[in-house]
Structure 1
Amino acid sequence: MAYRPSKKFKKTVLGVGAVVLLAGLNAPAAFSFAEDRYHAYKIAQPGYKAQYGSWGLVALPEDQRINAMHAALLHTGKVLLIAGSGNDQKKFDKGTFDTVLWDPAKNTFKRIPTPEDFFCAGHSQLPDGRLLVAGGTARYEVLDGKVTRAGGGMRVKNESPDKTVTLRKGTRFRSPSGVEYESKFDVTVPKAKREFLISYAKSGRMLPWKTKVTAAEARVFVEAVQEGPQGLTTEAAQYEVIGLKGKDADNVYGLAERLSTAKQDFQGIKAAYEFDPKAEKYIPVAPMKDARWYPTLVTLQDGRVLAVSGLNDVGDVVPGDNEIYDPRTKKWTKGPFRYFPTYPALFLTKGGKLLYTGSNAGYGPAEKGRAPGLWDPRTNTFEPVKGLTDPDQLETSASLLLPPAQDQKVMVLGGGGVGESPKSTARTAIVDLKTATPAWREGPRLPQGTRYLSSVILPDDSVFTTGGARDYRGRGASDIHKAQFYWPRAGRFTAAAAPAVGRNYHSEALLLPDGRVATFGSDPLFADKDNTKLGRFEHRLEVYSPPYLHRDPALRPALGAGPDEVDQNGRATFRAKDTDRIVRARLMRPSAVTHTTDVEQRSIELGLSRTADSVTVDVPSDPTLVPPGWYMLFVTDVDGTPSEAKWIQVRAPKKPAAEDED
């Protein structure tokens, strides 16, 4: 007789099978949960932190969350986070612009009234500790297929040598065929230039005076009043200014060559302000001559600031008209002419030349202005620096002057193809500017192709690199949750603890006075791997504590009382304990960073002498090595453990009296 299992046995077997089946189905989730728990346990261990460091999220009040596009460390120890309209056209249309001041020591936040849309401005540290902020957004882009009214640049001419003319926003220009266009901004056109010409008869007698008048010109963006193709023009024409009468109507007119419905790019503003860290407010200064969106501002050896590139007031890359800001006069003057794509990475080098690494943030043709080179602003000469691998993938790459600055070595890390290219490179490269013919040489490769990488110099002479994405704006969930150290002396990378927050476009990182690294922002296009859900701006603020902060705090070097500026010999003395353990001193310039571009940060090796209860540091006197301004002074022990920073000012070299009179 065949065996038949009982009903009870069947139920038991079915029950066990169901459990086994459910366990099998849930195994990946259970394993992932266990793996996450183990990872959390592992990274919390003292030994792990001592080797790799640790990350922590900063509690950010809901009402203080902004789209941080720009970050600058001030000599008060606070961090200025600038959003402007924050890549949010609704805020732009409302005129709602944001800035927040974060105090890392107290972890407090303060809203700062923001007078202009500083979204995608430029910034630079000034000798007195103020932050120069120049440029920003005048108009958001309109993409192909979305432009309903023809528009473009209108050159407004003024032939009157007797009066300046201001045309307000909304002024209308009429074409010869009767089509009307409206200006989108105010425009002021200077007086025409009048020249007196002297001529002589053959007899030598001076003939009556003759005058020559050269029309003045300004530019403004205009848009057709009516939608549709009737506003399209492809030929140069002269336009009547509606509302002007008499001589004004004869003297003032518009000229345009092409008004179309092609994509209209972002447009810049001319406004410039100094942010006062003590008063904690923006103070207006003279505007730039050219409007700029995505400009680079770089400090020169005399404390003046060079503004380079950017999109102008009609959305074109500024063709090479650079300008210089003087913090003494609060005014701008004409600078050397040279074209660069937007946010070019320019570093002041020993001797006064600027190294252009080729790193940039994108706008501009792929074949123009992207080759690295040494630029001398005084003679306006440019020497190419060759040898770079993947030269077509410098957009959104990171660049920095390696520590210490005296070595005069500059590094490029990662980058991507031009525009919305999916390309990215793991290439790093280094150039030694002390060689007779500087050329790039290969450095160690990054773990993978990376664009939008943040690179921060630390007091122990390492370079901390973190974040970035493989693809354009993190497409395809390509954010890279990795971090590593580059050690210039050894020429190699070592691993660091991985960040929890991904960072791509519109992200920043900078060194804090206590030795930590703060990271901000990120503006992904999409929120999922399939690119079906729109991304959101990243508001979480994450701070990294390097391994040196996980050593015995009792053994950490410390500086006591001392001056807040170096003396006339470049020296400063501070009280200190256990001075025999202090072996190095570094002067570190605070960051002003946006769009992976930080041309401010640098670390200078200092002379160091000790007594039983004090240390004295010697600052190099070369302003091309140590540009004037406020710096963080760190001392370290033999293991590279740094003190907390002391803020100290290096003043600009005095100018000759004759130069002051100019």
Structure 2
Amino acid sequence: MKPRSRPTLVRRLVSGLATLVVLAVVVVANRPMVAAGAEALHTYQINRQSYKEKFGHWARLPVPHGFRVNAIHAALLHTGKVLIVAGSGNNRDAFEEKSFRTVIYDPATDEFTEVETPTDVFCAGHTFLPDGNLLIAGGTKSYEVLEEDVEHAAGVMKIKNESPDGGPREFRKGTRLLSASGQAYLTRTKVTVPAAAKMTHGGTVMVHAGEAEVWVDAERTGDAPVVRQPAQYTLDGLTGADARNLYGVSDKITHEKQEYGGDKTSYEFDPVTEKYVRTGDLRDHRWYPTLIGLTGGDVLAVSGLDEFGRILPGRNERYLPDEKRWVAAPELKRYFPTYPGLHLMADGKVFYSGSNAGYGSDTEGRTPGVWDVKRNKFREVPGLRDPKMTETSSSVLLPPAQDQKVMLLGGGGIGESEESTRRTGIVDLDEKKPAYRPGPDLPRPARYLSTVLLPDDSVLTTGGSSGYRGGMYRGTPRSDLFNAQIYRPAQNAFVTAAESTVGRNYHSEAILLPDGRVITMGGDPLYDRSGTNAGTFEQRIEVFSPPYLFQGERPRITAGPAQVARGATARITTPDAGRIASARLVKPSSVTHVTDTDQRSVALTLNRTAGGVDVTVPGKPGLVPSGWYMLFLVNDSGVPSVAHWVRVR
């Protein structure tokens, strides 16, 4: 047979160029076909077993239309179900219609159910109680009003009562107060003013006026009713002694923006009955507060905006679970911006990472530090790079919790700044003088980044955006980040994970499920893709399967105790005892605005026995707070079991 001749280099180059020209023509003429082909190739690649073993896999969760809500808060209940709380969902129409929503998702059956939501718990605070109930406190009493929408000048009025006689005085909504110049202002709600109190000082009886605050709106539009100096007002219609004893005082009445007003309702959500159970009210109205459980079982509520949209000046309070009521905690006065990132330490102190959601002073309360809540002493922690970029950052107690290391990730400038940072910082709280040290940079500048502890002692970081609320960042109208990465503390490095397909920014959450997957939801962009129209809240839900779920058979837990005491040893039966390398207690997440005071992973000492393993729980309540945990066994290939639920007492 005559051998075939090989084309010369010139002929091959000409042929290749001709092919490229033909392909270029095909691309231009058939853009949809090319895009479809690229999509098909991408789908093929990400579904290969070898790809999933290395990078993991994302899948959309089919959510029935009637159960699509604006996920503002999310928590994993000890029933294994996910509580998704919208409240009014950052939707003024829903707020005015009192349409408040809560949905429960069951990962075991993929079923959704609706839960009656009594008040607007939008932007409340929450944390788990030792019995597994979720304490939810605060929320929204009123929506913001932008300056351009303020037609009637408004402000906060103090109604004072200098009479100790006659008891409290109630004034209806619309009560008129008159200025010295005759301008009239109407109360926005009814208000009850307590009587004055008689007090004795050095033998002299003194009267301290009772007072109550209320919003007032000018009766007339325009600038004439604007007041920028403190002034006194008379209550229309009062005569005689009442006219002398009852009056209004206000510092200013303006057309300025009116912030969201906090609510003071408080509930325990019962995972078994799946109902909100009303408790005693908060002492203060709170919007954007942080709740954190303390070693004795009490819960501390800090920060938030009050009912008039003013940040609380360091006035904190405690919840007493046995009594279902809140009490003032003047001994723990400390100012924080809203939604501060707080983490309970092994010794019972509280670490403030510096992460926050933004409302508050641009200087006060933003420095990280260790807070001794027994003596109300605060020791600042230095060393954080980009210290002015902690707003909308994330922080997490790294696994295992025994290492007492906290990592802060990303963040942005104060307010509606377009700037963000790739910076991470890690602090070892066991050091004599803790200080942040640089961690590995994120692949891209990120704010609103979700962080999820995985059973193999790694941390999934996903979602977020580079710009404020997913908006403009360095010329790009939408800045959502689809890249995900896994931080490995042992190597102090990130490894690349599969990319998500749904953008997550402000008002988004990510939670570890009992089967080892991660559910992600929410996202509230300021603008759409064009950067000109208002954004739409993201109601799609995605689930990420980490690489360990594609790396061989999973170990099984066949039996274990329903509860265990701190310091005690428990027997976990498993047919895979010979390959079990570690055991972890992972506290279920309760997250909003990338703030999660519950999330932690505790290492258990492990002894293999015939047919099972014996695990010992650490004895420190600051390391292992009382409550429900997911117990995972992890084999020598890094593959975790499905979790066994256990209550630590």
TM-score for both structures, normalised by structure 2: 0.92
Alignment counterpart, residue 557 of structure 1, candidates 555, 558, 561: 555
Whole-angstrom distance in 1 between the partners of 2:337 and 2:499: 33
Say whether residues 1:520 and 2:521 are aligned partners. Answer: yes
Residue 364 of structure 2: aligned partner: 368
Matches of residues 127-142 of structure 1 in structure 2 within 5 Å? 127-142=130-145
Say whether residues 1:423 and 2:426 are aligned partners. Answer: no
Say whether residues 1:104 and 2:107 are aligned partners. Answer: yes
CA spacing shift, 1:126–1:20, aligned 2, 3 Å: closer
CA spacing shift, 1:234–1:31, aligned 2, 3 Å: same
CA spacing shift, 1:85–1:245, aligned 2, 3 Å: farther
Letter in 2 for 1:544: F
Matches of residues 205-224 of structure 1 in structure 2 within 5 Å? 210-224=204-218
Deviation at 1:197, TM superposition (A): 5.0
Asked if 1 retains the 8 angstrom alpha-carbon contact of 2:565 and 2:617, the reply is no
Whole-angstrom distance in 2 between the partners of 1:36 and 1:20: 18
Asked if 2 retains the 8 angstrom alpha-carbon contact of 1:571 and 1:616, the reply is yes
Matches of residues 249-288 of structure 1 in structure 2 within 5 Å? 249-288=243-282
CA spacing shift, 1:567–1:121, aligned 2, 3 Å: closer
Residue 405 of structure 2: aligned partner: 409
Deviation at 1:445, TM superposition (A): 0.6
Deviation at 1:56, TM superposition (A): 0.8
Letter in 2 for 1:487: R
Deviation at 1:573, TM superposition (A): 2.2
Deviation at 1:436, TM superposition (A): 1.1
Deviation at 1:525, TM superposition (A): 1.4
CA spacing shift, 1:21–1:380, aligned 2, 3 Å: closer
Asked if 2 retains the 8 angstrom alpha-carbon contact of 1:125 and 1:131, the reply is yes
Residue 503 of structure 1: aligned partner: 504
Whole-angstrom distance in 2 between the partners of 1:21 and 1:41: 24
Alignment counterpart, residue 292 of structure 2, candidates 291, 298, 301: 298
Asked if 1 retains the 8 angstrom alpha-carbon contact of 2:84 and 2:103, the reply is yes
Deviation at 1:499, TM superposition (A): 0.5
Say whether residues 1:114 and 2:129 are aligned partners. Answer: no
SS state at 1:616 partner: strand
Asked if 1 retains the 8 angstrom alpha-carbon contact of 2:566 and 2:624, the reply is no
Deviations, residues 21-47 of structure 1 (Å, cap 9, x unaligned): 852523665544332221110111111
Deviations, residues 425-474 of structure 1 (Å, cap 9, x unaligned): 00011001111111111111111101111000000000000011111111
Matches of residues 320-331 of structure 1 in structure 2 within 5 Å? 320-331=314-325
Asked if 2 retains the 8 angstrom alpha-carbon contact of 1:157 and 1:218, the reply is yes
Residue 6 of structure 1: aligned partner: none
Deviations, residues 57-114 of structure 1 (Å, cap 9, x unaligned): 1110101111111101111111111111111111111111111111111111111111
Task: Give the share of equivalent positions with the same residue, in percent.
Answer: 51
Asked if 2 retains the 8 angstrom alpha-carbon contact of 1:557 and 1:635, the reply is yes
Residue 70 of structure 2: aligned partner: 67
Letter in 2 for 1:485: I
Whole-angstrom distance in 1 between the partners of 2:168 and 2:182: 27
Unaligned runs of 5+ in 1: 1-17, 200-209, 652-662
Deviation at 1:253, TM superposition (A): 2.9
SS state at 1:145 partner: helix
Unaligned runs of 5+ in 2: 1-20, 472-476
Asked if 1 retains the 8 angstrom alpha-carbon contact of 2:587 and 2:598, the reply is yes
Whole-angstrom distance in 2 between the partners of 1:20 and 1:301: 67
Alignment counterpart, residue 81 of structure 1, candidates 68, 84, 102: 84
Say whether residues 1:647 and 2:642 are aligned partners. Answer: no
CA spacing shift, 1:244–1:603, aligned 2, 3 Å: farther
Say whether residues 1:181 and 2:185 are aligned partners. Answer: yes
Letter in 1 for 2:103: V
Say whether residues 1:319 and 2:319 are aligned partners. Answer: no
Residue 540 of structure 2: aligned partner: 540
Whole-angstrom distance in 2 between the partners of 1:612 and 1:578: 10
Deviation at 1:616, TM superposition (A): 2.4
Deviations, residues 524-543 of structure 1 (Å, cap 9, x unaligned): 11121x41232111000100
Residue 7 of structure 2: aligned partner: none
Deviations, residues 225-264 of structure 1 (Å, cap 9, x unaligned): 3222222112222223346566555444321111111111
Asked if 2 retains the 8 angstrom alpha-carbon contact of 1:399 and 1:411, the reply is yes
Letter in 1 for 2:464: G
SS state at 2:94 partner: helix
Asked if 2 retains the 8 angstrom alpha-carbon contact of 1:221 and 1:313, the reply is no
CA spacing shift, 1:499–1:185, aligned 2, 3 Å: same
Deviation at 1:299, TM superposition (A): 1.1
Letter in 2 for 1:463: V
Whole-angstrom distance in 1 between the partners of 2:395 and 2:424: 10
Asked if 1 retains the 8 angstrom alpha-carbon contact of 2:566 and 2:648, the reply is no
Say whether residues 1:92 and 2:86 are aligned partners. Answer: no
Residue 126 of structure 2: aligned partner: 123
CA spacing shift, 1:19–1:42, aligned 2, 3 Å: closer
Residue 170 of structure 1: aligned partner: 174
Residue 491 of structure 1: aligned partner: 492
SS state at 1:56 partner: strand
SS state at 1:297 partner: strand
Deviation at 1:20, TM superposition (A): 8.2
Deviation at 1:198, TM superposition (A): 6.0
CA RMSD of aligned residues (A): 2.0
Asked if 2 retains the 8 angstrom alpha-carbon contact of 1:69 and 1:507, the reply is yes
Whole-angstrom distance in 1 between the partners of 2:193 and 2:372: 33
Whole-angstrom distance in 2 between the partners of 1:107 and 1:370: 41
Letter in 1 for 2:83: L
Deviations, residues 543-577 of structure 1 (Å, cap 9, x unaligned): 00111111333xx1122222211147533223221
Whole-angstrom distance in 1 between the partners of 2:480 and 2:518: 19
CA spacing shift, 1:190–1:582, aligned 2, 3 Å: farther
Deviation at 1:380, TM superposition (A): 1.7
Asked if 2 retains the 8 angstrom alpha-carbon contact of 1:586 and 1:603, the reply is yes
Whole-angstrom distance in 2 between the partners of 1:623 and 1:379: 18
Say whether residues 1:44 and 2:42 are aligned partners. Answer: no
CA spacing shift, 1:397–1:184, aligned 2, 3 Å: same
Deviation at 1:168, TM superposition (A): 4.3
Asked if 1 retains the 8 angstrom alpha-carbon contact of 2:552 and 2:639, the reply is no
Letter in 2 for 1:91: A
Q: How many residues align?
A: 622
Residue 152 of structure 2: aligned partner: 149
Residue 431 of structure 2: aligned partner: 435
SS state at 1:41 partner: helix
SS state at 1:580 partner: helix
Whole-angstrom distance in 2 between the partners of 1:627 and 1:451: 29
Letter in 2 for 1:45: R
CA spacing shift, 1:312–1:521, aligned 2, 3 Å: same
Asked if 2 retains the 8 angstrom alpha-carbon contact of 1:84 and 1:116, the reply is yes
Residue 53 of structure 1: aligned partner: 56
CA spacing shift, 1:190–1:574, aligned 2, 3 Å: farther
Letter in 2 for 1:363: Y
CA spacing shift, 1:629–1:363, aligned 2, 3 Å: same
Whole-angstrom distance in 2 between the partners of 1:223 and 1:451: 37
Whole-angstrom distance in 2 between the partners of 1:101 and 1:144: 37
Whole-angstrom distance in 2 between the partners of 1:124 and 1:187: 32
Deviations, residues 592-644 of structure 1 (Å, cap 9, x unaligned): 11111112100111122232123222111211111111111111112221111
Residue 238 of structure 1: aligned partner: 232
TM-score for both structures, normalised by structure 1: 0.90
Deviation at 1:646, TM superposition (A): 1.3
CA spacing shift, 1:578–1:362, aligned 2, 3 Å: same
Residue 654 of structure 1: aligned partner: none
Deviations, residues 469-498 of structure 1 (Å, cap 9, x unaligned): 111111112111110100011100001111
Whole-angstrom distance in 1 between the partners of 2:297 and 2:228: 46
CA spacing shift, 1:378–1:220, aligned 2, 3 Å: farther
Alignment counterpart, residue 36 of structure 2, candidates 33, 36, 40: 33
Deviation at 1:337, TM superposition (A): 1.0
